[in-house]
Amino acid sequence: MPTSSQEKQPPKSTKELLALAQDGAKKVFSTDEYREYLKFISGFHQYSVRNQLLIYLQNPHATFVAGYHTWKNQYHRQVNQHEKGIRILAGGEHKYEKRIRQPDGTIKRIKETRVFCRPAAVFDYSQTSGEPIKMFTHELTGEVPNYATIYSKLVQATDFHVGFSHEMPSSETKGVTRPRKKEIQLRSGMSEKQTIKTLIHELAHSELHCDPKLKLDRSTMELEAESTAFIVCQHLG
């Protein structure tokens, strides 16, 4: 049995993290692990695809991650002693002034920005102690730039009638697709972000799961619809 000094150390450099992501992608997207990966990333929509993969590869049981100071200052929780951080790539900007000598001998100053990424550590909720937090809500909040246009284009992309309703099968239900009636119902009162995401999810159902000959269990259909919604929402920003 390996001693603590022999344990595999987490990647620390940008090169090591990029290599881990590349090798991990080959593993995840070519095996049955893909389904588990999709379930995992549904809770990490605020991170880039690469960082979602890096978090998953280092801790597939992670539920909610944040940096050391975010846990301490925002959530009033302390990272436990001897915990190893999950390494991700954090973006940054370096602003500088470039000086260009003109033909007449004067100096022209141009402000430029260089974008770079560097390794950073985050910690899972299970690695911290302190005040409990309400974190397992997947209700999106906030506005969507060009919401009316995006909503209109999505509605035009289907021959299903799209409407809103306060009556849903349960309080957790955000949308319903009814193939026989060719209609999609969205829960009234949701934020713009949640409305767009739910509409895309239901549009995926209308495209993928309306053939009565199709024999899929509910969890598989939800996985496919949520995967589609994730990809489209990422594309739309």
pTM: 0.45
CA-CA distances (angstroms) from residue 227 to 2, 3, 9, 38?
A: 39, 40, 32, 7
Distances (CA, A) of 92 to 21, 95, 116, 117, 231: 19, 10, 5, 6, 25
Q: Do residues 11 and 17 make contact, with C-beta atoms less than 8 angstroms apart?
A: yes
Sorted by where each starts, the structural domains of the chain and their CATH numbers stand as 9-88+120-130 (no CATH), 147-236 (1.10.10.2910)
Backbone phi, psi, residue 213, to 5°: -80, -10
Going residue by residue through the chain (237 aa), what tens digit of pLDDT does each one get? 444 444 567 776 888 888 888 888 777 776 666 767 776 666 666 778 888 889 988 988 887 888 999 899 888 899 999 999 999 988 777 787 888 888 888 888 888 887 778 889 999 988 999 887 654 445 788 999 999 999 999 999 999 999 999 888 876 789 999 999 999 999 999 999 999 999 999 999 999 998 888 888 877 888 888 888 888 887 887
